[in-house]
């Protein structure tokens, strides 16, 4: 195999944890910029005259730009290495966050906000592709699952932290101050990545091996990507998109909050559970003979969570359902990326991660488009039961794809 993954192991374990820690901290801080805009932007219509339709376009612009940038970002990582795309991706996201500040004072603010969100998507594609590739490069099968879980956790917790900071700071000190704070954290993330993250992926002999527009169509990459599609379709695309409506219809609330505030609490429950089980699932898979049983178990937990959600008429049942859904989603994330790294040649990891991110973004993007209109027609429980079936199908697909590739359903 090409690449330099083996040079980091096993005699450079302290450097491994330093690099993983730097990636986690960087992705956490950069996530502030992605989250800080959400509690602020929907309320800017009265201030600067942005219509609700334009707000929706702006909020989704980063997802669409990242969708097109994921595969080239992964291929570019295989071509030139991880360090340069990582630092450039961080810098692009820092510049995009600064664009929010400019948008508040410049003419044609909607154009500035839209451009900033497009740039954010491009930068995040570079960061996601390189972060997982770095984790694959500096770890082996005994630590790769935990490393992937930690990095995914950094990405996951950065966004809701940004949502909280954006809401509190904008309330106390104003929108511009919140955007400036987010920009400062994004710049800090860029500096950390520049100082602490070395090149881990390729040497000079492999820098021209892959064209930037290549995608990985191997069975392993496509199988893992489709599982990621299924998980994000039901988690981000269905649960997060419909939970506020579900609470309103079922008349469920916590702490006297309305549907919006209560949905934020329950989303936080799923995020905390997901963050915990990202590391736990990865760690357990590292200690197991195969990652596949852990993945299948977590997909089953995700199924059970949606079955309970479909019938939830009390806060206790809803809380338990959200805990299971978060645990299932999080438990899949670390081992799934580790399995992809286990079964992919080191000089093709970037493209494989890019393929995985493309399919995941498609799932998260299609979820609201498909589920919300159907919920409007047939109600919640048929849709949530269908969402329960999707992870089960993904588990069967995972077993079949891995077996075809490795001639074993539970490869070590």
Are the C-beta atoms of residues 158 and 174 closer than 8 Å to each other?
no
- Coil vs helix vs strand at 408: coil
14 pLDDT higher than 70: no
Query: What is the spatial distance between Cα 262 and Cα 268, in angstroms, rounded to a whole number?
Result: 10
pLDDT per residue over 200-220, tens digit each?
A: 765 544 444 444 445 667 788
CATH of domain 5-206: 1.20.1250.20
Domain boundaries, the chain: 5-206, 219-406
pLDDT for residue 393: 94
Lowest mean pLDDT among 36-50, 58-72, 131-145, 397-411: 36-50
Averaged pLDDT of the chain: 79
Query: What is the spatial distance between Cα 265 and Cα 272, in angstroms, rounded to a whole number?
Result: 11
Query: What is the spatial distance between Cα 399 and Cα 225, in angstroms, rounded to a whole number?
Result: 14
How is domain 219-406 classified at the CATH fold level?
A: Growth Hormone; Chain: A; (1.20.1250)
Nearest Cα residue to 292 out of 186, 379, 398, 386: 398
pLDDT classification of 88: cutoffs 50, 70, 90: very high
Query: What is the spatial distance between Cα 386 and Cα 370, in angstroms, rounded to a whole number?
Result: 12
Which phi and psi angles does 195 have, rounded to 5°? -80, -40
C-alpha 358, offset from chain centre:
11
Q: Where are the alpha helices (DSSP H) in 233-348?
A: 241-250, 259-287, 292-310, 315-342
Nearest Cα residue to 391 out of 336, 329, 314: 329
Count Cβ atoms below 10 Å from residue 84 Cβ, excluding itself: 14
* Topology alike, domains 5-206 and 219-406: yes
24 pLDDT higher than 70: yes
Please tell me what DSSP assigns to residue 101.
H
DSSP string, 29-57: HHHHHHHHTTTTGGG-HHHH---HHHHHH
Contacts of 71 (CB under 8 A, 6+ apart): 213, 214, 215, 351, 354, 355, 358
* Mean pLDDT, rounded, for 106-117: 88
Query: What is the spatial distance between Cα 237 and Cα 114, in angstroms, rounded to a whole number?
Result: 22
pLDDT per residue over 346-374, tens digit each?
A: 667 777 777 777 788 788 777 777 887 88
C-alpha 64, offset from chain centre:
14
Cα 200–Cα 116–Cα 214 angle in degrees, nearest 5 = 45
Sign, CA dihedral 380-157-21-92, equals: positive
- Considering just the CA atoms, what is the radius of gyration of the chain in Å? 21
pLDDT for residue 212: 44
pLDDT classification of 160: cutoffs 50, 70, 90: low
Lowest mean pLDDT among 57-71, 208-222, 319-333, 350-364: 208-222
pLDDT for residue 265: 76
Which phi and psi angles does 258 have, rounded to 5°? -80, -175
> Which pTM value belongs to this model?
0.70
Residue 362: half-sphere exposure toward Cβ, Cα within 13 Å: 16
Nearest Cα residue to 190 out of 49, 344, 85: 85
């Amino acid at each position: 195999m090409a690449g330099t993954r083996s040079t980091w192991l096993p005699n450079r374990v302290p450097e491994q944890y330093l690099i993983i820690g730097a990636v986690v901290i960087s992705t956490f801080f950069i996530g502030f910029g992605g989250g800080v805009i959400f509690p602020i932007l929907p309320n800017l219509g009265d201030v600067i005259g942005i219509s609700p339709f334009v707000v929706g376009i702006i909020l989704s612009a980063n997802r669409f730009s990242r969708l097109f940038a994921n595969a080239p970002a992964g291929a570019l990582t295989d071509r030139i290495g991880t360090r340069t795309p990582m630092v450039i991706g961080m810098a692009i996201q820092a510049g995009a966050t600064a664009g929010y500040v400019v948008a508040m004072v410049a003419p044609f603010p909607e154009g500035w906000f839209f451009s900033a969100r497009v740039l954010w998507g491009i930068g995040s594609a570079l960061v996601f592709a390189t972060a997982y590739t770095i984790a694959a490069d500096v770890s082996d099968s005994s630590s790769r699952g935990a490393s992937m879980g930690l990095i995914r956790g950094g990405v996951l917790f950065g966004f809701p932290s940004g949502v909280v900071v954006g809401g509190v700071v904008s309330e106390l000190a104003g929108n511009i101050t919140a955007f400036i704070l987010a920009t400062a954290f994004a710049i800090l993330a860029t500096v950390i990545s520049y100082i602490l993250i070395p090149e881990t992926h390729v040497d000079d002999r492999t820098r021209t091996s892959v064209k930037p527009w290549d995608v990985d169509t191997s069975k392993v990459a496509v199988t893992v990507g489709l599982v990621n599609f299924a998980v994000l379709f039901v988690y981000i695309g269905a649960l997060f998109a419909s939970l506020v409506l579900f609470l309103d219809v079922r008349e469920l609330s916590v702490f006297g909050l309305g549907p919006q505030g209560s949905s934020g609490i329950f989303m936080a429950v799923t995020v905390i559970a997901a963050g915990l089980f990202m590391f736990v699932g990865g760690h357990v898979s590292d200690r197991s003979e195969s990652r596949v049983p852990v993945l299948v178990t977590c997909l089953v937990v995700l199924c059970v969570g949606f079955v309970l959600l479909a019938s939830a008429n009390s806060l206790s049942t809803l809380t338990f359902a959200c805990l299971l859904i978060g645990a299932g989603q999080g438990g899949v994330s670390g081992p799934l990326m580790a399995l992809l790294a286990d079964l992919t040649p080191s000089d093709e990891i970037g493209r494989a991660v890019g393929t995985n991110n493309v399919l995941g973004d498609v799932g998260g993007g299609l979820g609201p488009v498909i589920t919300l209109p159907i919920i409007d027609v047939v109600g919640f429980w048929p849709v949530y039961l269908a969402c329960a079936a999707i992870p089960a199908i993904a588990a069967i697909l995972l077993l079949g794809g891995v077996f075809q590739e490795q001639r074993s359903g539970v490869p070590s």
